[in-house]
Structure 1
Amino acid sequence: MIKAWSTKAVILIAMAVISGCFYILFLHDDTRRTQPREGELPAAGERTLKVMFSETDNQKVRENSPIQQEIAKRTGFKLMYAAVPVSNYNDKKKTLLTTQNVPDIMQIDKQDVNEFSSTGAFLPLMDYMNKGLMPNFKKLWDQNPDLVRLTVDGQLYGFPAIARDEAKNGFGPVIRMDLLQKHGLPVPRSFDELLGTLARLKELYPDSVPWSVRKGTSQLLAASSYMLGSGYNAGNGIYFDKDKGQYVYGPASREFKNVLSFLNKAYTSGLLDPDYAILTQQQWTEKLTGGESFFFIDNSGFGLNFTRALRQKHLEAFFQVMPIPEYAEGKSRARFYMNTFSGKMFAISSKVQDPESIVKLMDWMYSEEAFRLMNFGIEGLHYTLDGSDRPVYKKEFVETFIHSQPTPYYALYSELGCCQLSFTPYYSNTMSQFQIERMTGTWDELNEQYWNIVASDPAYEPLAMEPPLTSREAARVRDINTLLNDRLDKEFDKFIMGLKPLQEYDQVIRQARELGAGELEDIYNKASARLQR
C-alpha cells in the first residue's frame, strides 16, 4: 500500500509540475505577445514565408543566402524569396494585387497603398503598433514624423524601408569629363549649353549616340523633368513644386511643354538615343561603358561604376556629375533622394495565418541586432564592431570581392543577401558601400569629388513625400490616374520624336484638365494643408 500510494503521489506531483510549467510558459508567451521587450525575437516555430520584391541587374538575388539562413536560425522563419526583375515588377505586382493573390510579404509603394488598401489586400498595422507589439519600429516612427505621410485614413499598410546614415544623392547630369578636357569644352552651365556641348561631341565622334537612357520614356521624364522646370513621377504625374509652393500635375502644365521641347531638340538633333523608349538597363550600361555614349541624366552614382569599366580600356576616361545646369536664366534645381525613406514598403498579406507573429518578425528587423545582420552579415565571420559599437566589414572578407562584377560592393551584397536592394526594411546603403570601396581600393579622388559636388550644390533640395490621404481621396486619385495615364502615356513620345508638332500639346493639357488633373492637384494640396494644421 505504501509503495502504491508513493507511485500515485509521484504521478500526481509530476502532473502538477508539468501543468505548472505549461501555465508558466503560457503566461510567459502571453507576456511576450502583449509587451515584447526591446530587441526580443518573435515567437515562432518553423514556418516558411514567401517574400516578393524587385531584383536589379546589379544585385542578383541569391536564394538561401547566409543572411536568410541566419534569420531562420534566430527567428524560426524560413524566408523564400520570389525576386522579380525590376523591369517587370510593377506589372507582376499589379496583377497579383488585382487578383487578390498576394504573397505573405510583398514590396509595394505609396501609390499601391492609395490604390489597393481599400480592397483589404494588406494587413493594417496601427493596432499592432498601438498595442506595443512593434517597439523597434515605433522608435523610428517617432523619430521620423514624415512617415505619417504613408498612411491612408490614419492607417499604415506597410513597413517602410528606412535608411540609416545615408549620404545625399539623387538624379543628376553625368558627362564624360575627360572628353570635355581633351577637346577644350567648358562644363555646360545651362541646358541650352548642354545641347551645344553634346552636338560638338557628336561632330567629333560621328558614330556616337551622346545621350543614353535606361528603362524608357517614363524613366527619362522622371529623371530629367524637374531639372528642366517641371516634374513627373512614373504612374502619377503629381509632384511638389517648391517654387510654386504646391502640388502640380506636371504633364498638364505649361512648363512640361518646355520639357518636351528640350527632349525633342535633343532627339531630332541625333543627340538623344533613337532607341531611348525601349533601351534596357543592360543596353544603357553597354553604351556608356563601351564609349558609344557620353552623357546621362539618372542616378548620378552610376558614373563612378561606369568609369571603372571604361578604364579597363581607356585609362584616362572618366564620368563625373555636373553642377545642375540652369533651365532658365538664374534658375537651377534638382532633388535629393529621400535619405531616410527609400520609397519602398513591405506589406503583409491580410490572408496570412497568425499575422501577429509576422508583425513581430518585421518589427525585429528594425532592431539593432537585425540591422547588423541584414546589412553586414554575421558578427565575427563578416564583420566586427569598432570602438563605438558600429559594424565594420572584415577586410579579409571584403577583399575576396576586389575583382568582382559589376562592382565589389554589389557582388558582396548579392553574396550576403543584404542592404537596400534586398529584403531589408532597415537598411544601409552608402554607409556600407563606402567601407567596401575603401577596403578594396576603389575609393579614390573621383569618389571624393563626386560626393562633394552633390553635397555642396545648392540646386539640390529634399524630395517631398506625398501627404497622407483619406480612403475616399485615395480612391479618387486612383481613378483619375488611370484615366490620365491611359490618355497621356502614349502621347509623350509623339512630341519627343516630332511625330506631332509641339503646339498641339496645348490640346493634351486641356484634355488632361478635363480628365481630372486639376482635381488631382486640389486633392493633394488640401491633404497637404490638412497635415500642417
Structure 2
Amino acid sequence: MKRLLIFFVAVIMLIVTGCSSNGNNKSSNSTEKATTTNASTETQADEPAATGAQKISAKPIQVNWFFTANTPYTGDEEVFKTIEKYTNIKIKPINVSRADSTEKINTMLASGELPDLMSLQSGQKYADKYGPQGAFLDLTPYMESGKLDNMKAMLEKYAPAMDLDRSPDGNYYGAPRMYDVPYRADEVLIGRTDIFAKNNLSTKFETFDDLYDTLVKLKKLYPDSYPYFVRWGTNHLIQNQAYFRGSDTSFYLDQATQKYAFGPDSQAYKDTLIFLNKLYAQGLVNPNFATITDEEWNELLATNKGFVTIDYPQAGDEIIQTMGAKTPEGFEFTALLQPKYNDTRVGTVVLSGYFGALKMISSKSKYKDELVNLLNWMYSPEGINAMQFGIEGESYEKNADGTIKFLKDFQTPATPKGTITNSGLNNQDLFTVVNQEAINTYELNGAAMKKSVAFLSENNAFGKATFNAKFTNDKEQKEYGDLKTAIDTYVEEASVNIIIGKQSIDTWDSKVIPQVKKLGSERALELINKAYDETFKK
C-alpha cells in the first residue's frame, strides 16, 4: 500500500492523510533561487526577543533551511514568523520542487557545502550514508546529555523508532518525523455511498464474491460505467487487492511469522490476478488502469461512471472542491468495508510513530547548539502546536472545548476559501510531529472524512502499524535493490498479461515463478530477512 499518504485513531479512531501537506501549499513548478551554503548570520539586536529565547537561542540568529516543496517560500510565511517568535531563529528557506530534489540534494552532498538545516523526505538513507562520513552533526552526544530529551522521549514512546533512526555505526544523525497518535491509516476501500444507498446496495463486503456481485449490479444499473476504477498505475491496482488477501506484489513482511515472504509466490496473489482478470473481461474495471490521469479519474467519478476504488478517505471531501459545479446532486464518497479472504479481514494499512523523513544539521553550521535546541523544541508540546497552528493568541486560540480557532484567514481543508494560501503550517516538509489536535483541526472537519472515520472504527477495519527492515550494509542493500527491481519488473509484466487475458493463470507456477527464482528471489529474501533481523536486534 502507499506509504506517503494518512489517518489516526485515538479514543475514537482518527484518520489523516499521509504524507501530504494540507491546503496551505498549492502545487507550483516554480522554485526559490537561493544559495545552498550554510551562511548563517546574526540578526539585528533590536529585533523582538523570542518567547523561548533562553532555551533556544540566546540572541537572534539567521539560518538556512533546505526542504523540498512545490510551493516557493520567502521566509515571511506564518510558520517562519512563528519559529522566530518562539526561538529567536530567523529562517532563510531554500526549497526546490520535488521533481528536482534528488539532483539538488546529491549535488550539495557532493560539494560538501550544506545548508545549516535540511529536511529530507527519504532522510534516513542519507543519514545512514553521509552521517558517518561527517556531513551531518552526530546527535548522539546531545541525546545522551539530555539536550534532546523531548526528541528521545518521543522516539522511545513509539518503539522501534530508536532502532529505525539509528544509523549503522550506532549513532543518530537525524530527527525523524513522528506521528504522535496510536494509528494512522493509509488507503482504504472507498466508494460512491450515495449510489449504494440509492440502489439499496450494502457497503460491507464479507467476501470478494460479495464485492464482485455488487460491481456486476452497478454495471447493469450504469452500463457505461467501470464500477471498479483505479488510478496511479498497475501496481496500485494489484497491490491493494493483494494486500486485502494478505499478500503483496513483491517482498513483504508476513505478520504471522515476522519474516519476509515473496507475495507473488502465494495462492492469495494468484487469486488476486484471477479476480482482476474477471473484472477486466467483464468491463468492471477501467481498461486504462495503467495510464489513467487524475483528471480522467475525476471525470469518471463526477459522471457516475466510477463507483468503487482504493484511495485516501479525505478524497471524499477534496473531490467535491475539485469537481465544483460538476458535483452530482447528493454526491457522497466514503469508506466501504473491505472483504474477508479465507474468513480473515485484513485491516487497512496503518502507520504510527516513526516516519523516515528526517531533519539533519550540517556539521559545518555555525549554530549547531542552537539548531539542536530548535529540533528538541519541535518535539515539545509548545513546538508541536506552533508548527501546526502558529503563535497562540495571534494565529490561533483554543476554545473552551479544546478545539482550535484560527484568528487569521488561513486556507485549510475546513476553510478552502481562506485568503492565506501558503502559511507553511501543518506542512509535512516542515513540521516534526503531528498530534491529535492537528488531525482534529485539519482533517476531521469534512463530512465525508467524519463518516469514513466512524464507519471504519465501528467495523474494526484498521490494521496494526508495521515497520520494514533497513539495511546496514551498503553492498547488500544495492544487491537487494538490483534483484528486487528486476523481479518486480518481470512480475508486473506477467501479472498484467494474466489480467488482460493474454496469458493463462495456469502458467504462473510453471513459468513465472521458476523465472522469478532464476532472477534471484531466494537470495533477495535472504538479504531482506537478514536486514530485518539486524534492524530489530533479533
Interval containing the TM-score (normalised by the shorter chain): 0.7 to 0.9
Matched, 1:196 2:213: yes
The counterpart of 2:428, out of the listed 421, 432, 437, is 421
Matched, 1:169 2:189: no
In 2, the alpha carbon distance for the partners of 1:189 and 1:244 equals: 25
Matched, 1:431 2:437: yes
Q: TM-score, normalised by structure 1?
A: 0.75
Deviations 1:204-262 (A, max 9, x none): 32333333333323444454431133025xxxx43222234422233455533333333
> SS of the counterpart of 1:215?
coil
In 2, the alpha carbon distance for the partners of 1:433 and 1:482 equals: 38
2:270 maps to what in 1? 257
1:476, CA displacement in angstroms?
0.8
> SS of the counterpart of 2:246?
coil
Deviations 1:176-229 (A, max 9, x none): 122122223333332233233223323332333333333323444454431133
In 1, the alpha carbon distance for the partners of 2:506 and 2:196 equals: 35
In 1, the alpha carbon distance for the partners of 2:372 and 2:239 equals: 34
In 1, the alpha carbon distance for the partners of 2:507 and 2:420 equals: 48
Matched, 1:510 2:514: yes
1:319 maps to what in 2? 333
Q: 1:138 to 1:465 in 2, by over 3 A?
A: same
1:366 maps to what in 2? 379
Deviations 1:50-94 (A, max 9, x none): 422355xxxx56543211233245332414142534xx4786578
> SS of the counterpart of 1:339?
strand
2:82 maps to what in 1? 70
User: 1:381-392 counterparts in 2 under 5 A?
Assistant: 381-385=394-398, 392=403
1:408 maps to what in 2? 415
RMSD between superposed Cα atoms in Å: 3.8
In 2, the alpha carbon distance for the partners of 1:100 and 1:518 equals: 39
Q: 1:384 to 1:161 in 2, by over 3 A?
A: same
1:462, CA displacement in angstroms?
1.0
1:386, CA displacement in angstroms?
5.4
1:97, CA displacement in angstroms?
8.5
In 2, the alpha carbon distance for the partners of 1:274 and 1:91 equals: 33
1:370, CA displacement in angstroms?
1.6
Deviations 1:478-519 (A, max 9, x none): 321223213423641452253444444444433444444334
Q: 1:69 to 1:454 in 2, by over 3 A?
A: same
Matched, 1:128 2:142: yes
1:25 maps to what in 2? none
Q: Check the 8 A contact 2:394/2:407 in 1, yes or no.
A: no
In 2, the alpha carbon distance for the partners of 1:410 and 1:466 equals: 40
Letter in 2 for 1:136: N
Letter in 1 for 2:62: R
Q: 1:299 to 1:374 in 2, by over 3 A?
A: same
Deviations 1:261-315 (A, max 9, x none): 3333333433333332234445444543454321211223323433676796433
Q: Check the 8 A contact 1:173/1:324 in 2, yes or no.
A: yes
2:47 maps to what in 1? none
User: 1:278-297 counterparts in 2 under 5 A?
Assistant: 278-297=291-310
In 1, the alpha carbon distance for the partners of 2:163 and 2:426 equals: 24
Q: Check the 8 A contact 1:212/1:293 in 2, yes or no.
A: yes
Q: Unpaired segments of 5 or more residues in structure 2?
A: 1-51
In 2, the alpha carbon distance for the partners of 1:352 and 1:244 equals: 45
In 1, the alpha carbon distance for the partners of 2:121 and 2:406 equals: 35
Q: Check the 8 A contact 2:136/2:360 in 1, yes or no.
A: yes
Letter in 2 for 1:375: Q
In 2, the alpha carbon distance for the partners of 1:413 and 1:261 equals: 50
Matched, 1:210 2:227: yes
In 2, the alpha carbon distance for the partners of 1:190 and 1:309 equals: 33
Matched, 1:454 2:456: yes
In 1, the alpha carbon distance for the partners of 2:239 and 2:110 equals: 29
The counterpart of 2:199, out of the listed 183, 188, 192, is 183
Matched, 1:333 2:339: no
Q: TM-score, normalised by structure 2?
A: 0.74
1:480 maps to what in 2? 480
> SS of the counterpart of 1:71?
helix
In 2, the alpha carbon distance for the partners of 1:207 and 1:152 equals: 54
In 2, the alpha carbon distance for the partners of 1:206 and 1:273 equals: 13
Tell me which structure has the larger Cα radius of gyration: 1
Letter in 2 for 1:424: F
1:24 maps to what in 2? none
1:393 maps to what in 2? 404
2:31 maps to what in 1? none
> SS of the counterpart of 1:335?
coil
In 2, the alpha carbon distance for the partners of 1:48 and 1:467 equals: 34
In 2, the alpha carbon distance for the partners of 1:282 and 1:62 equals: 27
Matched, 1:375 2:384: no
Q: 1:167 to 1:248 in 2, by over 3 A?
A: closer
Q: Check the 8 A contact 1:39/1:364 in 2, yes or no.
A: no
Matched, 1:149 2:163: yes
